């Protein structure tokens, strides 16, 4: 009932704002209709008055209905989502609100105001800010957490979680300087149940079972809330970031700085062993020893894009600096280097396009930890490379759009293979067929979901 009330209130507000501006426009028309024989409908003053009074409210959005069938157990999921974007412009200001309506919830994904000045503008509110030149793949984009409850199946921007922030955009010729401050830190949102629970979350759920055995249900509930729903609101836990971008002679480049936190939690793995051995009698002592936290991090980034040898080339480079600068603290992530190199090019075969990117990460000072099995960075490979390949084509005046994409981890050999065909029925209406496969070992990023292969059909209407 509450959701219905919110929906109706939203529609009433839209209608009210629209009607107010229409009435204003009609009033302007009536005031200008009492003209003399020297005045005509082409009078510039009349046109200007009408245009200034016309509706400043616009809205757009999409209605999407999706059915997904998992091949392993024949389970079927269905969901219908309405995304509504409201934009209100007046003078040197603008308001935007993006509202998501689905079967379970109503969420304000973004809602902010923008104030325009001579050579800068100011944005305040809940926003999604994406930085970097990569194609839906980044190492310098750190402001917003990701909603991973459906893993990485949604598009990159759809996974971003809106964050309250203040953002200043300052323009210097062709250059742009962005400064962002967020009073809160929002971590990645992970699935706690369903088909997309990661191995890390399963470890937490197993920990919760052990916690119930030792301390009871209530302390276990507090533990789960601390791990799964952490949200820092202290002043020192806010995020601050700067970005400078410019263009020259066909080259786009930029530099960025981010001060905040790593989006996934860290914990003391040694405490888990002690808990299983029955070494704790008090839940609060255990919580303190578990040392659940989000590591502070400073990220220095650079980005680049241009057309090189006919290839739309792009690159990002980042250095992640944590408090464990020597690499010998098993509770804190080590410093690391990360980069993306790639590009896309049209092929001389029909309307095909080939897009290839490689994302690499190198964890530094890995040899300085004595008990590696308790290290938050412990892995078989401290240097990893992920290949992202996409091949697309266009048929029948761009109304039939097939696409094949592969995400492949070179060291662990796990992958996602995505087969997709989109049919454009009208300019605003499409149907998308998708067949996605997961493969690899059970303990790997994609291999853990190898029983989640699925078929899906998605109908989309844009307005």
Average the pLDDT over 90-102 and give the result.
Answer: 94
Domain membership of residue 283 (yes or no) is: no
CA–CA dist 383, 375 (Å, integer): 16
- Amino acid 266: pLDDT: 83
Indicate the pairing of strand 239-248 with strand 163-172: unpaired
| Torsion (CA) 272, 273, 279, 284 in degrees, nearest 10 | -10
By residue range, what is the domain housing residue 28?
1-55
Residue with tokens 């024989």: 37
Higher-scoring residue by pLDDT: 416, 18? 416
pLDDT in tens, 36-94: 444 343 444 434 443 444 458 999 999 999 999 999 999 999 999 999 999 999 989 99
Q: Where are the alpha helices (DSSP H) in 54-146?
A: none
Domain membership of residue 14 (yes or no) is: yes
Higher-scoring residue by pLDDT: 258, 201? 258
pLDDT in tens, 285-304: 776 777 778 999 999 999 99
CA–CA dist 383, 362 (Å, integer): 4
101: part of which helix (H) or strand (E)?
A: strand 93-101
CA–CA dist 399, 169 (Å, integer): 38
Q: Report the 10 Å Cβ neighbour count for 305.
A: 21
Average the pLDDT over 227-233 and give the result.
Answer: 56
Residue 305, pLDDT above cutoff 60: yes
Residue 405, pLDDT above cutoff 50: yes
* Two structure tokens written together for 359: 């994302």
Average the pLDDT over 157-186 and give the result.
Answer: 96
Residue 136, pLDDT above cutoff 90: yes
Average the pLDDT over 340-353 and give the result.
Answer: 97
pTM of the model: 0.85
Average the pLDDT over 274-281 and give the result.
Answer: 71
Domain membership of residue 371 (yes or no) is: no
As a whole-number percent, the residues of the chain with pLDDT over 90 amount to 65
Residue 171, pLDDT above cutoff 80: yes
Average the pLDDT over 23-45 and give the result.
Answer: 43
Domain membership of residue 88 (yes or no) is: no
Domain membership of residue 12 (yes or no) is: yes
Average the pLDDT over 387-410 and give the result.
Answer: 98
Residue 413, pLDDT above cutoff 50: yes
- Which of 249-263, 281-295, 306-320 has the least mean pLDDT? 281-295
Q: Select from 133, 233, 146 the least CA-distant residue to 183.
A: 233
Number of domains observed in the structure of the chain? 1
Ordered DSSP codes for 278-299: T--S-HHHHHHHHT-B--EEEE
Ordered DSSP codes for 192-229: SSSTT--HHHHHHHHHHHHHHHHH-HHHHHHHHHHHHS
CA 458 to chain centroid, in Å, comes to 21
Residue 34, pLDDT above cutoff 60: no
Phi and psi angles of residue 401, each rounded to the nearest 5 degrees, phi first: -125, 90
Q: Select from 356, 352, 297 the least CA-distant residue to 322.
A: 297
- Amino acid 12: pLDDT: 52
Domain membership of residue 25 (yes or no) is: yes
DSSP state of 441: -
CA–CA dist 186, 18 (Å, integer): 35
CA–CA dist 113, 127 (Å, integer): 10
Residue with tokens 């690899």: 440
Indicate the pairing of strand 76-90 with strand 93-101: antiparallel
pLDDT in tens, 254-266: 999 999 999 988 8
- Amino acid 359: pLDDT: 98
Domain membership of residue 37 (yes or no) is: yes
Mean pLDDT of the chain: 86
CA–CA dist 349, 394 (Å, integer): 11
Locate the DSSP E strands across 353-450: 353-363, 383-392, 400-409, 415-426, 429-439
As a whole-number percent, the residues of the chain with pLDDT over 70 amount to 81
Residue 31, pLDDT above cutoff 60: no
* Among 96-100, 184-188, 271-275, the range of highest mean pLDDT: 96-100
Confidence of residue 29 (pLDDT cuts 50, 70, 90): very low
For the chain, the C-alpha Rg in angstroms (whole number) is 26
CA 317 to chain centroid, in Å, comes to 19
- Amino acid 224: pLDDT: 66
Domain membership of residue 304 (yes or no) is: no
Confidence of residue 14 (pLDDT cuts 50, 70, 90): low
The answer to whether 299 and 142 have CB atoms below 8 angstroms apart is yes
């Amino acid at each position: 009932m509450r959701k219905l009330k919110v929906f109706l209130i939203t529609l009433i507000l839209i209608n009210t704002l629209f009607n107010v501006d229409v009435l204003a426009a009609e009033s302007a028309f009536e005031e200008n209709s009492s003209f003399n024989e020297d005045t005509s409908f082409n009078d510039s003053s009349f046109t200007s008055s009408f245009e200034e009074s016309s509706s400043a409210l616009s809205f757009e959005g999409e209605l999407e209905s999706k059915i997904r069938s998992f091949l392993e157990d024949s389970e079927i999921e269905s969901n219908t989502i309405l995304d509504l974007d409201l934009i209100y412009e007046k003078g040197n200001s603008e308001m935007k609100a993006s509202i998501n309506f689905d079967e379970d919830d109503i969420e304000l994904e973004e809602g902010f105001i923008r104030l325009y000045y001579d050579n800068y503008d100011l944005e305040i509110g809940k926003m999604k800010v994406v930085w970097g030149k990569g194609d839906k793949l980044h190492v310098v984009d750190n402001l917003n957490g990701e909603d991973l409850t459906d893993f990485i199946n949604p598009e990159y921007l759809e996974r971003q979680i809106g964050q309250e922030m203040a953002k200043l955009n300052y323009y210097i010729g062709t250059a742009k300087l962005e400064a962002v401050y967020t009073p809160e830190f929002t971590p990645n949102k992970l699935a706690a149940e369903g088909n997309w629970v990661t191995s890390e979350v399963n470890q937490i759920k197993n920990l919760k079972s052990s916690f119930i055995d030792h301390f009871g249900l209530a302390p276990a509930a507090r533990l789960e809330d601390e791990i799964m729903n952490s949200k820092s609101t202290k002043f020192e836990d806010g995020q601050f970031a700067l970005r400078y971008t410019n263009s020259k002679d066909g080259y786009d480049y930029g530099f960025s700085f981010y001060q905040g936190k790593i989006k996934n939690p860290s914990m003391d793995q040694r405490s888990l062993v002690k808990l299983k051995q029955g070494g704790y009698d008090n839940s609060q002592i255990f919580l303190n020893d578990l040392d659940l936290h989000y590591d502070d991090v400073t990220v220095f980034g650079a980005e680049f894009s241009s057309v090189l040898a006919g290839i739309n080339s792009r690159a990002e480079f980042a250095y992640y600096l944590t408090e464990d600068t020597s690499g010998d603290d098993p509770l804190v992530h080590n410093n690391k280097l990360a980069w993306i190199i790639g590009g896309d090019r049209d092929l001389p075969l029909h309307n095909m396009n080939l897009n290839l990117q490689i994302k690499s990460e190198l964890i530094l000072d890995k040899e300085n930890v004595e008990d590696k099995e308790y290290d938050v960075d412990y892995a078989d490979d401290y240097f990893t490379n992920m290949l992202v390949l996409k091949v697309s084509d266009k048929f029948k005046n761009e109304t039939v759009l097939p696409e094949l994409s592969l995400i492949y981890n070179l060291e662990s050999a796990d992958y996602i293979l995505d087969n997709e065909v989109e049919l454009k029925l009208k300019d605003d209406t499409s149907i998308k067929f998708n067949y996605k496969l997961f493969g690899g070992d059970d303990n790997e990023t994609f291999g853990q979901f190898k029983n989640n292969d699925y078929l899906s059909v998605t109908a989309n209407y844009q307005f």
